[in-house]
Structure 1
Amino acid sequence: MGGLERADKSMTEQQFDTLADILGLDTPDRVAAHDVIFDGIEATASAAAIADKLHKTDAAIRCAYVIHGPMEFRITVGHRDTHRPPGATSIAIGDTAHLVAHSTEGLISVRVTALPASRVDYYSGVITGYPVKDSRYQIGNGVRFSEDQVMVEEPRAASRWRPRY
């Protein structure tokens, strides 16, 4: 690309080519969308529509096929936690939940998209934010989690220092 900085870092060249093939874009549309997404060239109405369609298709595929399961997130509340017993938090579709990744201990923001079908099933959501670059947790990926994995408040330090004996 001649040393130019990519305008959009949400998809790679390979992902772009794959999506363009799936959508059956002809050469002029493919070139116009590539110029908008990767080179930051001002978009015509048709090129902007094609780029938007590519982004929406990318998001739909990520959400449907890249799903992080409950074993990838830390349980943040237990039966001995008197401040928040399991099941005490009400979570609705559209709410933002925060999960802690086992691999990085980073806080992942997730938009809830589906409620559990039964008491033993999981919530479903889509990752909307994650501070770690080049991680396996990408914005748009699907997530399955339980209520006891949701962080209700930001983590904080202990209230006072306690000497060890």
Structure 2
Amino acid sequence: MSLKKENEKIEEYEKQLALVRDEIKKYEKPEEENEQIKNLKKLEADMIEVINLTRDLIKYKKQNELENDENKELERSGEVAPDIHEHIKESNKFIGRTCSLNYENKMVYGLIENVVIHNNIEQLLIHIFETNDRIMIPPNYVQLNEVLNESALKENNQFQALYKKDG
């Protein structure tokens, strides 16, 4: 499938997403949220995920094309391809960090336990505090939480503490 077709798919998905959002607005009532609204909101979240996955696919295809071209040039020049272990060392800096992400249609907190590369795709192994689930997810779907350092601990500064039991 060409990149042009993928981009056309994204445009079509975004049009469908706009229609779903319009339907949600028609039925949405602040005091009562019925089953139909819940289904439409789930559909909205699913469509957003499809759009993001399609964008990731396009990015992956472009990256693959570039890497293939670079590897062919390196082979012609006799140089060795860069070692993937350097990338893993860089990614390992995320291990042990807390993060937030959208999981089962709600924002949750988790702990990055490991970085795994499978079929040239980087994935994070995350322990979800609230449910004790462990999931694999691409790094671009995760937002790292700030690391607290001593210089930030000044009078009149506020911070939020996150405990595993709280989720």
Could you state the TM-score of these two structures normalised by the residue count of structure 2?
0.29
More strand by share: 2
Structure showing greater relative contact order (alpha-carbon pairs closer than 8 Å, 6 or more residues apart): 1
More helix by share: 2
Could you state the TM-score of these two structures normalised by the residue count of structure 1?
0.29
